[in-house]
Structure 1
Amino acid sequence: MTNPLLKLDGVHTHIGAYHILQGVDLQVAHGEMTVLLGRNGAGKTTTLRTIMGLWNASRGAVTFEGADISALATPDIARRGIAYVPENMGIFADLTVRENMTLAARGARRVEEVDAARLEWIFGLFPALKKFWQHPAGLLSGGQKQMLAVARAIVEPRKLLLIDEPSKGLAPAIIQNMIAAFRELKQTDTTILLVEQNFNFARQLGDQVAVMDNGRVVHAGPMAALAEDEKLQQDLLGLSLGAHQ
């Protein structure tokens, strides 16, 4: 891959006494969705948190737009145009949907200062957010909370989105809504690195895929190639994507 937007070279991450990432090599191309797959405990979430500076790499380099960001603090990484949607969504339950969105727009002190056209675009992706605009976020359903978490990440244009298991625990109808929203988001030239356990979700959206095992990337390539190769799916993941369609 020539000049990837994001690149990890031999990244190791220790959390206390635990050596979680053990030499991760990963490249994410500009304007594509790369999906991180792997069994529980393989290191996927730790990879996202290390990129975001929430956990520090003990060795190796994380490069974004050609610059090493390994030693930067999380706020400085965010200011470079990277947003992170954690598995626990990271929303403020006691604040309204409107207040959550205003806080996420770093340049706005009042909702009137948020880009109105972009808000309307987000409402088109997630109509429930407009309906519950003045409701406390803690009263939203699980799917609506996930929509809010993604909406907060895109309330301003970002160069890279790191999203951890957006379909986890969601009903099939909500998952289809999320797939449609991500498809539209991909048309905006936004680069996405997605951790996902729903393999049908991943197959429909991913351009590239990287499979992790024991803290390393053990396979990387086009998602279409993995989706068509059931033996490779069994070897890497212990299951068939076809069984989850």
Structure 2
Amino acid sequence: MADERPADPLMTLKGVHTHIGQYHILQGVDLVLPRGGMTVLLGRNGAGKTTTLRTIMGLWAPSQGTIHFDGRPIGGLPTPDIARAGIAYVPETMAVFSDLSVRENMVLAARDGPIDKARLDWIFGLFPALRKFWELPAGVLSGGQKQMLAIARAIVEPRRLILIDEPTKGIAPAIIEAMILAFAELKRETTILLVEQNFRFAASLGDQVAVMDDGRIVHRGAMAELAGDEALQTRLLGLSLDTHQ
């Protein structure tokens, strides 16, 4: 396992265990997120990726270990406190309000007051469909457009870290191409921890990668290194990135 760690990381998880009922899901996760750019969390289904995001966000409390964000311990804090620290979470379920308009969804997410116009224009630049459907119910959006709205809600105010769980799942290829461009811009502004099964998407955007297996991190390093090494891909993931897109 590569072990080049940033001197001043944004977040560190050390020896994190999470139990959900009788199930021991995370079994000593060690993860370091550098400031800026995108870290991709890969692994087979059931490896513990979503549980890692939910544990960071305080939706599930760690049973052991520590989580530090910008040097401050946050493991086990209530989710609202973690969000106020500058961390946003986009779950796999998207969690948009279908009966509310796109505008109303965004207003609800802007907890610090009215949406800044310049920031809204920037978001429209990332996701032009949101401007088009601004006054329509979110329920009329396609799956890809709902995913765009979910991400836009997370970034309606500046965030220091965004946790995003499988944003391309079930999304049409044309929408995925548009999301690659949007994420390339977004990661210039903030730090992203991305869980993703579309390896082409992950490889095109990721700066760092961590691979999970059986509730632990088993590899970490540069995304470019993993993307260029089919033997390593097969050993860690069971498939090469080129064969699983």
Task: Name the TM tier (shorter chain).
Answer: over 0.9
Q: Which amino acid in 1 is paired with 2:37?
A: E
Question: Residue 232 of structure 1 aligns with which residue?
Answer: 232
If the length of structure 2 is used for normalisation, what is the TM-score? Answer: 0.97
Question: Residue 128 of structure 2 aligns with which residue?
Answer: 127
Identity, in percent, stands at 73
Question: Residue 201 of structure 2 aligns with which residue?
Answer: 201
Q: Which amino acid in 2 is paired with 1:89?
A: M
Q: CA RMSD in A?
A: 0.8
2:170 is equivalent to residue 165 of structure 1: no
Question: Residue 152 of structure 2 aligns with which residue?
Answer: 151
Q: How many angstroms does 1:128 deviate by?
A: 0.5
> What are the superposed Cα offsets for residues 111-154 of structure 1, whole Å, 9 maximum, x if unpaired?
xx210000001001111000000111111100000000000011
CA separation in 1, counterparts of 2:105 and 2:228? 41
CA separation in 2, counterparts of 1:50 and 1:3? 22
Q: How many angstroms does 1:232 deviate by?
A: 0.4
CA separation in 1, counterparts of 2:50 and 2:244? 22
Structure 2 residue corresponding to 1:14, chosen from 5, 16, 19: 19
CA separation in 2, counterparts of 1:58 and 1:5? 22
> What are the superposed Cα offsets for residues 57-112 of structure 1, whole Å, 9 maximum, x if unpaired?
0000011000110121000000000000000001111111000000111112xxxx
Structure 1 residue corresponding to 2:97, chosen from 92, 116, 119: 92
If the length of structure 1 is used for normalisation, what is the TM-score? Answer: 0.97
Task: Give the SS at the match of 1:145.
Answer: helix
CA separation in 2, counterparts of 1:219 and 1:76? 31
Q: 1:10 to 1:177 in 2, by over 3 A?
A: same
Task: Give the SS at the match of 2:63.
Answer: strand
CA separation in 2, counterparts of 1:14 and 1:61? 15
Deviation above 6 Å: which 4+ runs of structure 1? none
Q: How many angstroms does 1:244 deviate by?
A: 4.2
CA separation in 2, counterparts of 1:157 and 1:118? 9
Q: Which amino acid in 2 is paired with 1:241?
A: L
Q: Is the 8 A contact 2:37 2:188 kept in 1?
A: no
CA separation in 2, counterparts of 1:217 and 1:143? 30
Question: Residue 80 of structure 1 aligns with which residue?
Answer: 85
CA separation in 1, counterparts of 2:145 and 2:137? 12
- Unmatched 5+ stretches in structure 1: none
Task: Give the SS at the match of 1:87.
Answer: coil
CA separation in 2, counterparts of 1:166 and 1:142? 10
